[in-house]
Each structure stands twice: as structure tokens, then as C-alpha cells.
């Protein structure tokens, strides 16, 4: 960094006390800048260059003391609060299986999935997220090809062709594609001038391809979650405000148009019937909209402290009580007090994740946190509102609480990436945009 032996010797002594190798480059750059400024100020007082450099080093102070202080400031951090919240929410995921598991083995499976989820989280936590930034093309292309594979060879369950089978183990491949597109767009938003000129048209095409492919599966929830994830990253990007508003407005209009076309083309589909039932509950209390009345009845009879996990056989009438309808099941079984506690716990969890965006100086890390927090927040909020009867019923599980290995591993990977950004928030250089 410097051709000055005096500066190099000083910096070497400082770095000998800084344990984090990742922080060395940033610290050396900052200290060298200060040394140069001091040297120039001494040269302006008619000191020779060598004398000015010696005086600059002396002015900085003891290099070992400086190194010890910088070592405390610039070291990997662990967000123990977020990890504790993750452990608490993971523990709650066993409760629906205690009283309403379709199979007794689901408890053991959930324990295995949580163990794997913890490994995934820690693996991403210790992995340097910055190594992913230039792989966005590979992530995007892989995501597109995986959905195309699903459209041709995917396993259909409950009318959705989003599953693939590995040696008898069925995996929800759409969760893998969601992770790939999330990483792809985080990388795209760090590239200079990607949303200007003809590239803006290309970016628009790239944006809508996954959305349309998800609709073709059909997987309406994934289309919505993908849409909000990318638009939220766009909102916090460094694109000019006027252009950002135009892009968001156009995409919202196009999104509504696609949803309208999809609704017309899937008449008779359960999703469509549930949507219309939600909009006009009083017209169809015994048809597809019966589930809304069933949820309302259970919530009304929940009380503050519930009916117990095994206290009432009537709750067995609630379908998917361990997955999509886990929230109303927990409220009915453990009461409104627990439901409010769980809602607050999830909101604090999401808030804690999103706070990492404001703590990191790295633009890429900031975009990753915003997109990752959105991928967890949107399904969590939708699931709770759906469980309260305030949102249309779709296949939206409650992150980290609903049973399901594929979704749990996906959310754990996203959480691990956010924790990786937090871990390196004090050892990465401030960056705005990449070339």
C-alpha cells in the first residue's frame, strides 16, 4: 500500500495485534490515509519528507496500543439475540406436532430437520457472503432451468408441480429456486448502470421470467414472495428515486394484470374459489369458504389460555393444522395470550434481522439483508393474517414454525446469510456500488 518503509513498519506493528485478517485491508487503508495527511501537514512546515513521515508516525502513538484497540473494534460479531430468537421459534415448532401430528414420526422428523437447519444456518454464517456477489448469472440461470425442469418432470402434489424426488425423498424445489433468485438479484443490484438505457429493458425481462414461470407451475405464493423480495431490494437500492418510483409503479400494474389473467385462466381452481369466498364469505358458508368460518369458530372459542394441545378433538376438523393453519391451531390450543406472544416474537425476530441492514457499511450486504428479511417477513405476516381470517388462504407456511423440511432449510439459509452480514459488519469496507 505504501512505498514508505517507515509507514510499512508502523502498519505491520499495528496489524500484528489485529486478529481478523479480513479487517487488515480496511484498517491499513484507513491508517495509511491518516499517516499521509499528517506527513503532508509536517512537510508544509518545511520538514523533509523523511522527517515528516517520522513525525507522522510519532503523532499516531504506540502502534501496539492502536492495534489492540482496533482489534476490539474490528472483529467478527455474533448476533446472539437473533440466534436465541431462532432457537425459541424452532422450539415452538414442536407444539403443533405434539397434539395434532398426522403421524407420530413427525416429531422425530422435525427434530432431524431442525438439526439440519441449524447446520445450514451456521454454515452460511461462517461463510463469507461477499464471495457470492459475482455469481448472480449462475444463480439466475440455475433457478430458471430448475423451474423448467419442474414444469416437465416435477412431481405434482395438491395440484402444484413443484416437487422433485431424490431416492424416495421428496423436496420442494421451488424453495431452492427462491434462494437462487434472491442471491441473483442481490448481485444484480450491486452492478453499475444495470438499470439505465437498454439494460433497463433486459432487467425488466429478467424480473418477469421467474414470476411467470412460478405462475405456470402454478405456485401463486412463490410468485408473490418473489415479487415483494425483488421490489423491496429495488426500493433500498441506489437507483435514482424518480426512476425507482417509475419502475415500481409499472411492475405493480403489470403484476396485477398477470394475477387477473391467471384468475381468469384457472376457473374452478381451489385457490380461485377460496379467493372469491374470502371476498364474499356470507354468500358461500358451506362451499370452499367454509374454512374461513371454521377458523373464525376456533378463534372465537380459543379463550385467553386455550383448550390444550390434546384437549379438544374438534380441532382435528382444521386441515393442515401443522403447516398452513398452524397459527389458528396454536391460538385455539394455547390461547390468545400465546398467539399474541408468538406474533410479537416473530415481529421482533424480523425487526432484528432488518436492523442488520443499517449496521453494515457494505452495500451488497445491505441488499442481502433487505431481501432476506422480506422473504421471511411476507410469508410470516401473510400466514398470521390468513390464520386470523384477514387475508386470502394460500399455501403460505409460517417460517420456522410450520412443519416442512424444505421450507425450514430455505429459511435457515436466508437467516444464515443475514447472520453472515452481521458477523462481518465491522470488518468490511464501506462500499456503495460495484462495477
Query: 164-184 pLDDT, tens per residue?
Result: 877 777 888 999 999 999 999
Q: Which element (helix H / strand E) includes 155?
A: strand 155-157
Q: Which element (helix H / strand E) includes 156?
A: strand 155-157
C-alpha cell at 276: 372469491
- Judged against a pLDDT cut of 50, whether residue 400 lies above it is answered with yes
- Judged against a pLDDT cut of 80, whether residue 206 lies above it is answered with yes
The residue behind cell 390468513 is: 386
3-state secondary structure at position 413? helix
Quote the CA–CA distance of 312 and 184 in Å, as a whole number.
47
The per-residue pLDDT for 289 is 65
How much is the average pLDDT of 11-16?
A: 75
Quote the CA–CA distance of 285 and 307 in Å, as a whole number.
25
Query: 334-358 pLDDT, tens per residue?
Result: 999 999 999 999 999 999 999 998 8
Quote the CA–CA distance of 237 and 142 in Å, as a whole number.
24
The per-residue pLDDT for 154 is 81
Helices (H), 318-362: 326-334, 336-359
- Judged against a pLDDT cut of 90, whether residue 410 lies above it is answered with yes
Structural domain spans, the chain = 5-73, 80-423
Half-sphere exposure of 179 (CA within 13 A, CB side): 19
Report residue 266's pLDDT band, with 50, 70 and 90 as the boundaries.
low
* Best mean pLDDT range from 4-13, 105-114, 287-296: 105-114
How much is the average pLDDT of 318-341?
A: 88
Query: 64-117 pLDDT, tens per residue?
Result: 777 777 777 777 788 999 999 999 999 999 988 886 766 778 888 889 999 999
Question: DSSP state, 166?
Answer: E
Amino acid at each position: 500500500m505504501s512505498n514508505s518503509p517507515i509507514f510499512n513498519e508502523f502498519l505491520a506493528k499495528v496489524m500484528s495485534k489485529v486478529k481478523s485478517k479480513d479487517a487488515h485491508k480496511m484498517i491499513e487503508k484507513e491508517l495509511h490515509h491518516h499517516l499521509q495527511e499528517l506527513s503532508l501537514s509536517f512537510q508544509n512546515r518545511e520538514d523533509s519528507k523523511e522527517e515528516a513521515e517520522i513525525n507522522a508516525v510519532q503523532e499516531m502513538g504506540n502502534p501496539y496500543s492502536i492495534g489492540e484497540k482496533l482489534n476490539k473494534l474490528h472483529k467478527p460479531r455474533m448476533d446472539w439475540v437473533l440466534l436465541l430468537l431462532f432457537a425459541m421459534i424452532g422450539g415452538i415448532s414442536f407444539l403443533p406436532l405434539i397434539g395434532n401430528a398426522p403421524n407420530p414420526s413427525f416429531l422425530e422428523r422435525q427434530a432431524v430437520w431442525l438439526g439440519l437447519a441449524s447446520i445450514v444456518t451456521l454454515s452460511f454464517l461462517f461463510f463469507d457472503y461477499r464471495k457470492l456477489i459475482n455469481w448472480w448469472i449462475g444463480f439466475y440461470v440455475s433457478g430458471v432451468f430448475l423451474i423448467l425442469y419442474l414444469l416437465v418432470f416435477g412431481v405434482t402434489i395438491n395440484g402444484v408441480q413443484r416437487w422433485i424426488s431424490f431416492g424416495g425423498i421428496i423436496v420442494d424445489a421451488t424453495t431452492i429456486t427462491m434462494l437462487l433468485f434472491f442471491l441473483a438479484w442481490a448481485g444484480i443490484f450491486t452492478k453499475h448502470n444495470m438499470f439505465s438505457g437498454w439494460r433497463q429493458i433486459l432487467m425488466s425481462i429478467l424480473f418477469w421470467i421467474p414470476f411467470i414461470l412460478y405462475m405456470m407451475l402454478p405456485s401463486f405464493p412463490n410468485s408473490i414472495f418473489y415479487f415483494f423480495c425483488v421490489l423491496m431490494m429495488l426500493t433500498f437500492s441506489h437507483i435514482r428515486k424518480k426512476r425507482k418510483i417509475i419502475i415500481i409503479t409499472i411492475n405493480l400494474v403489470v403484476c396485477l394484470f398477470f394475477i387477473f389473467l391467471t384468475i381468469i385462466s384457472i376457473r374452478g381452481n381451489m385457490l380461485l374459489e377460496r379467493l372469491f369466498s374470502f371476498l364474499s364469505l356470507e354468500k358461500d358458508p358451506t362451499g370452499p369458504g367454509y374454512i374461513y368460518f371454521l377458523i373464525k369458530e376456533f378463534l372465537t372459542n380459543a379463550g385467553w389460555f386455550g383448550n390444550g394441545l390434546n384437549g379438544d378433538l374438534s380441532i382435528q376438523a382444521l386441515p393442515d393444522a401443522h403447516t398452513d393453519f398452524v397459527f389458528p391451531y396454536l391460538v385455539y390450543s394455547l390461547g390468545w395470550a400465546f398467539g399474541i406472544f408468538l406474533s410479537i416474537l416473530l415481529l421482533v425476530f424480523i425487526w432484528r434481522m432488518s436492523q442488520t441492514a443499517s449496521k453494515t457499511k457494505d452495500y451488497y450486504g445491505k441488499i442481502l439483508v433487505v431481501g432476506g428479511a422480506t422473504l421471511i417477513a411476507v410469508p410470516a405476516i401473510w400466514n398470521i393474517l390468513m390464520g386470523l381470517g384477514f387475508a386470502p388462504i394460500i399455501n403460505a407456511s409460517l417460517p420456522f414454525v410450520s412443519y416442512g423440511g424444505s421450507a425450514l432449510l430455505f429459511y435457515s439459509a436466508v437467516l444464515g446469510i443475514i447472520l453472515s452480514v452481521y458477523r462481518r459488519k465491522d470488518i468490511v469496507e464501506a462500499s456503495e456500488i460495484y462495477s
